[in-house]
């Protein structure tokens, strides 16, 4: 299991596309647009800090979904069939890919945090920065599993557009690109039920020095369990077909 994890980590580190998708894009967006509501308070934080968390989450989700959906290429090349012949159980393969994918959430959180500190002097205590980083890493679990479900279940030609559409819809409707506080009532209720909003909520509350809410954690756990079931089913189905 550890050897497989090291192998997957090396593959991710060698992929330069993740830097552009998950780090440079959110940082540039923050630098350009973060000053439009600098005097407001959003999600219990000054607007620059709240936007920092939203765009850090946006980049983190972009990274984990990209890594997850990339397994469609592995399936097409026959790599998953080879894994099926090894002693690695299905759950271990899915869990290892999800863990490796989730680690790509760390660089965008750090990068956007540095941009916020430099441009708007967003200052958090060391404890809050650490809590923010840890929670926004752990909270990517449902998105890593969603990416794997798409990658295991769809062809490479379909996985890319479906991943993009899922990412865009979840990010926009979940309040990562525009604050959910500005949404109409119906869309705001929808946002609160989505994993993207509850994921960003982990960051907003940790930055404000508050623990996660029970309802937010319950929603994230429910989405994680659902995506785990779908990813495991899609993996077994994809390898059984070959």
From CA 220, how far away is CA 193, in angstroms rounded? 9
List, in order, residues 6 or more apart from 103 with CB less than 8 Å away.
9, 12, 137
Counting as low any pLDDT under 70, the low residues of the chain are 1-5, 7-9, 11-18, 36-39, 77-88, 90-91, 239-242
Distance from C-alpha of 179 to C-alpha of 55, rounded to nearest angstrom: 11
pLDDT at 140: 92
Burial class (CB in 10 A: 0-12, 13-18, 19+), 68: buried
| Tokens representing residue 108 in the block | 């965008």
pTM to 2 decimal places? 0.85
pLDDT (0 to 100) of residue 151: 87
Beta strands in the chain (DSSP E): 41-42, 45-46
Kind plus residue range of the DSSP H or E element containing 77: helix 71-77
Cα separation, 151 vs 72, in Å, equals 4
For 38-65, the pLDDT digits (tens) are: 667 888 888 889 999 999 999 999 988 8
Q: Which domain holds residue 234?
A: 2-240
Q: Which run of H or of E encompasses 178? A: none
What is the predicted pLDDT for the residue at 231?
86
**Total number of domains constituting the chain:** 1
Report pLDDT digits (tens) over 164-198. 999 999 999 999 988 888 899 999 999 999 999 99
Cα torsion 44, 50, 56, 60: sign: positive
């Amino acid at each position: 299991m550890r050897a497989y994890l090291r192998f997957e980590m090396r593959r991710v580190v060698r992929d330069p596309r993740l830097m552009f998708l998950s780090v440079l894009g959110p940082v540039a967006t923050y630098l350009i647009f973060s000053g439009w509501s600098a005097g407001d308070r959003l999600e219990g934080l000054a607007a620059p800090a709240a936007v920092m968390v939203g765009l850090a989450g946006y980049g983190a989700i972009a990274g984990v979904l990209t890594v997850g959906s990339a397994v469609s290429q592995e399936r097409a090349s026959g790599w998953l069939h080879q894994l099926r012949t090894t002693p690695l159980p299905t759950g271990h393969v899915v869990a290892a890919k999800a863990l490796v994918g989730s680690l790509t959430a760390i660089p965008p959180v750090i990068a956007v945090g540095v941009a916020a500190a430099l441009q708007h002097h967003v200052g958090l205590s060391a404890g809050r920065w650490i809590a923010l980083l840890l929670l926004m890493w752990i909270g990517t679990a449902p998105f890593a599993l969603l990416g794997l479900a798409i990658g295991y279940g769809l062809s490479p030609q379909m996985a890319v557009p479906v991943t993009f559409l899922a990412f865009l819809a979840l990010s926009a409707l979940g309040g990562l690109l525009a604050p959910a506080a500005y949404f109409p009532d119906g869309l705001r209720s929808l946002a609160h039920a989505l994993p993207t909003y509850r994921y960003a909520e982990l960051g907003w509350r940790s930055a404000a020095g508050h623990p996660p809410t029970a309802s937010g954690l319950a929603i994230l756990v429910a989405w994680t369990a659902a995506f785990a079931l779908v990813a495991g089913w899609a993996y077994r189905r994809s390898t059984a077909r070959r």
